[in-house]
Structure 1
């Protein structure tokens, strides 16, 4: 990609105004690929390799403070003629999609930033999972972007209407698009969301067909795709996050497939807005929906207007979110405390090294 205008990358007046606050010798760019300690960044002159400055790295307390795909950043150069570019600042994120990092740690990991729509992809074959979809919706609403549900592989499904109905019951206020890569059903509807200045992040489990969908939208093969395996599931293809600019306008961010989506920051209430509205109608504000009189939630279950399993999933997600958030705050507090101790220790050692010089000056 060469000589791409920043407008095609999604820049707006807000980013330009914020960038002007910093050193006028810096250049504006957008992170397209994130590796372990090096990044690819799109600039006015094309793509450059870049690293974070020592100052930015030193002031960072967690991965949250480092650049991610989709970030607007300020660089000291826009080509690699004299070495890798240096990222000095990250502009404020207007939105970002995040999850809990894998393993036992409780850090928040940003998957993609500055996005307008989150395309939640789920296939209509064996990958179909309402419980997992609810988790994605809760995190998507929290991102400040608008979630859109993209159902793939409709040609492998014999009960499409039934499954769409199941999703409509839990995806309140969210558009649903049914697609098939075989006959390109739904692709025209998807393109309605894509235009210059708009950024779309694709998320979903491994093998749901994100790569095929993106290749269709890009009108060329930018991502590898694999065939369906014997158990009717696609194979994992994407291994890292990457930003693509569509020739006809718009930006796509592809993400690795995630079968596990740990919640630290999520809008569970908005995802389960029907339950939230019922809770407001309960006689008691702290109603547990078990034995209290005039409980609107329990009445809705008895009348068949609310699935009791959905209520149970809502409770579990609320508990998980609260637990992970508490653990995250404790871990962050411990990290800051350790950092301050280390800083004081370094200052103490530094002062000891200066003592002979100070004594000589006297």
Structure 2
């Protein structure tokens, strides 16, 4: 089957973002895998997935071999992923054999004390990071989201929602812009139908947008507004304490009538970062640029002489709280990296001793049967 035939065969996929890049990735797969069908994960449940195949929507699970080989949670498919699946004869069910390499992925640390990761969404072109202009407005929290966004490989876009509830939205936008170098910031109000025209450049056929942010910022309302449809159920919010009672409990990918794909994600009380050193450097690129002007290369920006970062705080060009958040997050990431390294060493040691045990058993077995 040549490239043209393959693309023609997957016409239904074009609506879900299939393109020549994905076709090329599929062509790089082993021959046995290329005989399977590509499908996009559109919803994720605890033990199964909904996938969009050339024949329509199927329920799917991963093969036993796939499950056995997956070392981390991020090795499993996530919403937005393209997978190679096998259709079960006469059923609307498939089994997933392989994952096509991701173009982007937003990853956070899984909840709990275990050192594991969790994919919030995969293969997004844009990440809409939402923050409401009520008591929920929090620049420091948005800085964390920006670290994860830059690390993901998608382009971050900040949406300040509920702009109609705020007396001076422009002042909040200016505050956000100074904390988000190089990131577009848009003021919108879904209820008042304000600001949609600013979002049109992102809403293109075949492009995937993930909408993320903490609970109660109006993500489901925003999704309905973008779709001109009541796709997502939403419940009211008590404006006096800004707590949302929203219904998104799992991730899902929706195809809008204009051909854009939008991914809704459950609200997060706290975003736990995962392996995001590059994202940290990009999110705080202003501090990184200032640090290049410090007298000492290993300057800690605390009390070192000739520190360009501390000078910027004195001059009022850098906010002290922003530097504090940068330091705190850098410390958190290096602590996580140390935990990961120590676990990796333990796992390697355990794997080594288990293979030595099996060698000894094999040798003993050889001797027994001689």
TM-score normalised by L of structure 2 = 0.89
Specify the alignment match of 1:302 in structure 2.
314
Structure 2 unaligned segments of length 5 or more: list them: 1-9
Q: Could you tell me whether the CA contact under 8 Å between 2:57 and 2:92 is conserved in 1?
A: no
Q: Deviation of residue 234 (structure 1)?
A: 2.4
CA distance in structure 1 between the partners assigned to 2:302 and 2:361 by the alignment: 61
Partner of 2:21: 14
Aligned residue among 46, 50, 60 for 1:36:
46
User: In structure 2, what is the Cα distance between the partners aligned to 1:59 and 1:343?
Assistant: 17
The alpha-carbon distance between structure 1 residues 83 and 193, as it changes in their structure 2 partners (threshold 3 A), is closer
Partner of 2:196: 187
1:1-362 paired onto structure 2 within 5 Å: 5-20=12-27, 21-22=29-30, 23=32, 24-77=34-87, 81-82=90-91, 84-229=93-238, 230-266=240-276, 267-338=279-350
Q: Structure 1: how far apart are the matches of 2:126 and 2:18? A: 16
- What TM-score, normalized to structure 1? 0.91
Shift of 1:307: 1.3
Deviation at 1:350, TM superposition (A): 9.4
Q: Report how far residue 54 of structure 1 moved.
A: 1.5
Cα distance in 1 between the residues matched to 2:13 and 2:158: 29
CA distance in 2, matches of 1:293, 1:52: 57
Mark the CA change 1:307 to 1:129 in structure 2 (over 3 Å): closer, same or farther.
same
Instruction: Give distance in 1, aligned partners of 2:179 and 2:262.
Output: 26
Aligned partners of 2:299 and 2:307 also within 8 Å:
yes
Distance in 1 of aligned mates of 2:214 and 2:15: 29
Aligned to 2:6: none
Q: Are residues 346 and 73 of structure 1, via their aligned partners in 2, closer, same or farther at CA, if it must alter by over 3 Å? A: farther
Cα displacement (A) at 1:75: 0.7
**Following the alignment from structure 2 to structure 1, what is the Cα–Cα distance between the partners of residues 98 and 120?**
19
Partner SS, residue 306 of structure 1: coil
Structure 2 counterpart SS, 1:174: coil
Measured in 2, the distance between the counterparts of 1:81 and 1:57 equals 25
Structure 1 unaligned regions, length at least 5: none
Partner-residue secondary structure (3-state), 1:33: strand
Deviation string, structure 1 residues 2-45 (Cα, Å, up to 9, x no partner): x9721111112121122233324200100111112211101122
Q: How many residues align?
A: 355
SS of alignment partner, residue 121 of structure 2: strand
Provide the rounded CA distance (Å) in 1 between the counterparts of 2:53 and 2:22.
14
Deviation at 1:341, TM superposition (A): 5.5
Q: Residues 83 and 217 of structure 1: is their aligned pair in 2 closer, same or farther, counting only changes over 3 Å?
A: closer
Higher mean alpha-carbon deviation, 25-34 vs 80-89, is at 80-89
The question of whether the paired residues in 1 share the 8 Å contact of 2:58 and 2:92 is answered with no
CA distance in 2 between counterparts of 1:337 and 1:35 reads: 34
Whole-Å separation in 2 of the counterparts to 1:215 and 1:248: 13
Secondary structure of residue in 2 paired with 1:6 = helix
